[in-house]
A = this chain, B = another copy of it.
Amino acid sequence: MLVLVTYDVNVQTPEGRKRLRLVAKTCKNMCQRVQKSVFECLVDPAEWVILKNKLEGTIDPEIDSLRFYYLGKNWKRRVDHMGAKEPYDPEGPLLV
């Protein structure tokens, strides 16, 4: 299934900038970054529980925001893109 993760982290403090890096790092392990604070995560339910718990531990819930959008298995018909950074296919060949 595809889960979209979007976030706003308050970066007015050094701690905030550290949280921002940690959120991105946590996502990078299992997801594809498609915009600065937007990641697409192709995960199974068990992987998602692990990732979600990790993410919960990275933010300050008083001032940071994490939003998750569950796009399901048929996610390809739910995603559209305009502009820079050509869309990629998380299930496509890994270009190295």
For chain A, what secondary structure do more than half of its interface residues adopt (helix, strand, loop), or is it mixed? strand
A55 close to B82 (CB less than 8 A): yes
Contacts of A68 in B (CB 8 A): 79-82
* A79 close to B67 (CB less than 8 A): yes
The CA of A72 and the CA of B96, in the complex, are separated in Å by 35
- Interface residue ranges, A against B (CB under 8 Å): 4, 6-8, 10, 34-38, 55-56, 59-72, 77-85
Q: Find out whether the CB atom of A4 lies under 8 angstroms from the CB atom of B69.
A: yes
CB distance A78 to B82 under 8 Å?
Answer: no
**Residues of chain B with a CB closer than 8 A to A85's CB:** 8, 65
- Can you name the residue of chain B whose Cβ is closest to the Cβ of A86? B65
